[in-house]
Amino acid sequence: MEEILCSFHNYTKFSGYPYSFYDMSQQALDCGLDAVITTDKNIYPAGHDQYYYRSGKKLLVICGEELFDPLSEDSPRYISIGADREQFNKEIGNSREEIRIFQNINAENNNSRYFEIINAEELLIQGLNQGLQNIRKSFIEFDNLLLSSQRCTCLAGTRSSSLTSKHTCAELFSTAFNHILTEEGFTGDLIHDKLLLLKSIKNGRLFLALDGLADAKGFRFSAEGNNRDSIALPGDMIYLQNSITLKIRTPESCTCRLIHNGKTIKEWRECRQIPYVIYEPGYYRIECALTIRRNIYDWIFTNPIYVRKG
């Protein structure tokens, strides 16, 4: 399993921002990113999916689109990756503000819903404490949907649709990353790597982190069945027979909270590696927090692992 660092929901010169694809890619390479997904406003810049290379490093850029009704201030906004306009027109009547990924891969997951839980620009403008409070509010809605048996995926975005700031791409990129877990590493083949990345996003195989607080690369959350042949990662489903062992590994000593069906059922402090046996079905996700100068800040948020009876 490989870990890809990805920035999602970015604007370029096509949305009136002072960044070309090249300028943005250079700042992304400076921040150690592996991939950037752009979402310009009501425009799809065809032909700009490509790799950028520098000093032995490579960055994959994928173009999506932010879709909304420009004549309505209250229009919901949707993130489209690979959608055609006919499909968009069928979906735009939905009044919920959420992210819809329309890319037709893994059709069995088309009922999944996608939410931008973290937005780097809003976080920097509002300040860390207020921003973290808003993230917590977003997770309440996220958990409520999961409790209604709705499959959901949370993402970290970069640019806000409603706010403006003078923050550089590098400042925004370095605030929060999507850590996407892929079946293999990037090969350098554009089409192959694009589908590889979008497949993992589609399946919710990722966790979010405020990497501006500390580097979260190397964090892992998994579930293992009794026969050890069945291992699930965030976004996966695993079937419970007698018990399931959850495993947590963190790159920094931190506080870890285990959330089961919307409630914290276990908390560990100053931990690095945790095995924990569960016996109940439901969904499980992890939140990690760091203590910095005696203040506690939320740091890592995983997508859920779904445990079903079987």
Residues 179, 46 share a domain: yes
Specify whether 106 is located in the same domain as 197: yes
Q: Write out the residue range of the structural domain in which residue 134 sits.
A: 1-212
Single out the residue of 90, 75, 7 nearest to residue 41, CA to CA.
75
> Which among 212, 247, 274 is the end of a domain?
212
How many other C-beta atoms can be found within 10 angstroms of the C-beta atom of residue 279? 9
Q: Are residues 67 and 137 in the same domain?
A: yes
Q: Residues 266, 242, 149, 81: is their CA dihedral positive or negative?
A: positive
CA dihedral 87, 88, 93, 97 (to 10 degrees): 130
Q: Are residues 228 and 191 in the same domain?
A: no
CATH number at residue 269: 2.60.40.10
Last residue of a domain, one of 178, 212, 246: 212
The whole-model pTM stands at 0.91
pLDDT by residue for the chain (310 residues), tens digit each?
Answer: 899 999 999 999 999 888 899 999 999 999 999 999 999 998 888 889 999 999 999 999 999 888 777 888 777 777 777 655 555 566 555 544 445 554 333 333 446 788 889 999 999 999 999 999 999 999 998 999 899 988 889 999 998 766 566 889 999 999 999 999 999 999 999 999 999 999 999 899 999 999 999 999 999 999 998 766 689 999 999 999 889 999 999 999 999 999 999 999 999 999 999 999 999 999 999 999 999 999 999 999 999 999 999 8
| Same-domain check for residues 171 and 239 | no
Residues 243 and 177 in one domain: no
> Do 237 and 191 share a domain, yes or no?
no
Task: CATH number of the domain at 136, please.
Answer: 3.20.20
Q: Are residues 177 and 265 in the same domain?
A: no
Same domain, 93 and 202: yes
Pair 178, 144: CB distance under 8 Å = no
Q: Are residues 223 and 178 in the same domain?
A: no
Q: Which of 179, 212, 245 is the last residue of a domain?
A: 212
Number of domains in the chain: 2
Do 304 and 196 share a structural domain? no
One domain for residues 2 and 76: yes
